[in-house]
Each structure stands twice: as structure tokens, then as C-alpha cells.
Structure 1
């Protein structure tokens, strides 16, 4: 099955400072949303393969669009989904599972588990997509979020599937923890 995309949305944020000195390069964060038809809306199904199986191809397109929006090397990423009210949270999770995560990691040279957030909500509801460093989850300077909403989606029978990325860690990071330079790149540390 091929996922039916009704619309794409891209949001980009660039932060030069957050109350302290200007940073160079600025923090650039982006999110890309694909609003897709939910083939399981309004009905129960034990098998969610119609969302899982094609999710890798969807992730590859979301990654390509998000990388283009970042316009620099991607350092952190996250994923998420908002399921329209005729669906279930599990439908959003099905869109983001292994094929999606593998394609996301492959598309940015990542090795770590990809952070995510899912929920069921009405059109226009915002969701925070958590970000983490692409090589090691415990690198604290990359803990961040991208807030996304789609004004007219998801409709009750849709799912908004989201990839978010950043080109560097938080502006003015100064709370310690594992530094990027000290990360082993083993997915955790």
C-alpha cells in the first residue's frame, strides 16, 4: 500500500541568541509534516501493516525535505505524529516504528534511538517533537523540542506525520553533561 499524502508543511526556526551573546552559527531547527489518510480511521484492526510497511518511504521523503530546510549538517532529530480523532494513538506509532526510524537514521548518518511523541487530537493541535543528538542519546546539549501544528490537520481520518531536525545543540548550552566531543557514538553515550 502507498500512503496518500494530502499536504506537506515545512516550518523553519533560526535562533541567533536566547538572551546571551549571539552565536555563530545560529541554531536552525526545522520540521516537515506529511498529512496522510489514515486507512484505519473509524475501525479496529489487529494488523497495522498498511501504515508500518510504507513508512520507510515516507520517512525518506520527510528526511530529504527537512535536510533541505536545515541547509546544514543535521546534528539532532526527532519524530512524531498527531492522529485525527477517528483514529488511535497506535496508528501514529505504527507510522513511526522500525522502518521509519531506520530510514530517518540512515538519511542523516545517525546511530541512536530516535525520540518521538504521538497523540490523538483535533486539527490545529500543537505537538512538541523532542530532539536528541543523532549519534548518542545522552548528549545533553541537544535536548530540545520543535513545536509543530497544522492549521487544518489532521482531519478526523488523517495522521500528521512529522520529522524534526536541528543543525546544532541548544543556544547557550551550559549545564554540562556528556559533551558531543566525548560521545562514543554508540547510540547512548
Structure 2
């Protein structure tokens, strides 16, 4: 059992000027997306596991190889995330199922030697629906300089019976970061740094 991939799309932007000021070092944000047939489209399937187990490793390996190449290697990636958009004949559960499995995400996490989890979105939409991939630091979920979003769309995808599965990455955080980090907020509020209720 293998995913039926119609096409793979890459998106890349190199930011040279941000906020009317040149970046000290140009930074790259990019994404790689696979457009594939939704194996569950148009029907209710109680057990999604067979396809998740089969598709996850294939999609994870292929998209990871491509996105790390765009960025010049996994060590160049500082922020990362994932996303899926299911077509109108599918459920949000279908988008979730294909990206919320370690068999998919761990390919990317291992390639960039990450210790944090992958930020994510899973949505439903028609062709040309916005694909938004939230990013965060691959080691530190509280490092706000790396809270970014890769935003793009594919004019002919997803079709009603398709899913778009994507990975996103950035080679640095925002170049003129100056809003502080989560840890300073916690300290200012008198909370412990490990406070699970704090956002």
C-alpha cells in the first residue's frame, strides 16, 4: 500500500529586508507539499491505521529529503512545522491522521536533530485553500523569535478527493526579534518556568 501522489510542490522565500531594515543575514522560509489521493474520501472508515502506517513513513521520508536539501541540510534548519489540508470529500480526521503520527514527523525531527515537537495545522478546504504552516524553534518551544508561519497555496489542490501534506522550515528566526520570550513573561508573572498552565 503506497500513497498515490499526484505532484509535489515546493515553496521558498528568501527575506533580505524586514521592517524597512536589511537582515544581517538573509533568511529562508520554505515548504514542501505532497498532493495525494485521500484513501478515505467520500466514505466513513472506522480504522484509519492501515493507511496511516503505510503512508506516514513514505511521505515523511520524501518531504524531509526535499526540504532539508532546499535549506542546505538539516543543520541549517532552526524552525520547523507541518500541515495538512484535506479536500471537501474528506474529514479533518483524514488530514490529522496523515501528519499526527511519529512515522511521519520523526523523519523530519531526526533529520534536523530536534528536541521539540512539530507545530501544526490540519484544515479542510477546496483547491487554492491557504496552507499555513506554523513554525517554532526545533529545540525550544518558548523561543518566540522563531514563531513564524509559512503561507502559500496550490491553485489546483486539494481536489475534493485529495489531501495536501506539507512540511515547513526556516533557517533562522525573525531578524529583528524584540518581543522577548515566554520565559521572561513567566518570570514577570511569578510563575515557575515549568508551569504547565502558562501559554
Using structure 2 for the length normalisation, give the TM-score: 0.86
Residue 57 (structure 1) shift: 2.2
Q: Secondary structure at the match of 1:112?
A: coil
1:105 aligns to 2:106 (yes or no): no
Counterpart residue number, 1:183: none
Counterpart residue number, 2:144: 140
Counterpart residue number, 1:34: 34
**Residue 155 of structure 2, aligned match among 143, 151, 158:** 151
Task: Give the CA RMSD over aligned residues.
Answer: 1.6
**Residue 123 of structure 1, aligned match among 113, 123, 127:** 127
Name the larger-Rg structure. Answer: 2
Counterpart residue number, 2:11: 11
Aligned length: 180
Counterpart residue number, 1:171: 175
Q: For 1:98-155, what per-residue CA distance to the aligned partner results, in whole angstroms no more than 9, with x for missing partners?
A: 2112122012111111100011100111121100011121111100100021110011
Distance between the aligned counterparts of 1:19 and 1:177, measured in 2? 20
Which ranges of 4 or more aligned residues in structure 1 deviate by more than 3 Å? Answer: none
Residue 80 (structure 1) shift: 0.3
Structure 1 gap ranges (5+): 180-187
Q: Secondary structure at the match of 1:56?
A: helix
Distance 1:50 1:36, change over 3 A: farther
Distance between the aligned counterparts of 2:61 and 2:138, measured in 1? 16
Distance between the aligned counterparts of 2:176 and 2:57, measured in 1? 35
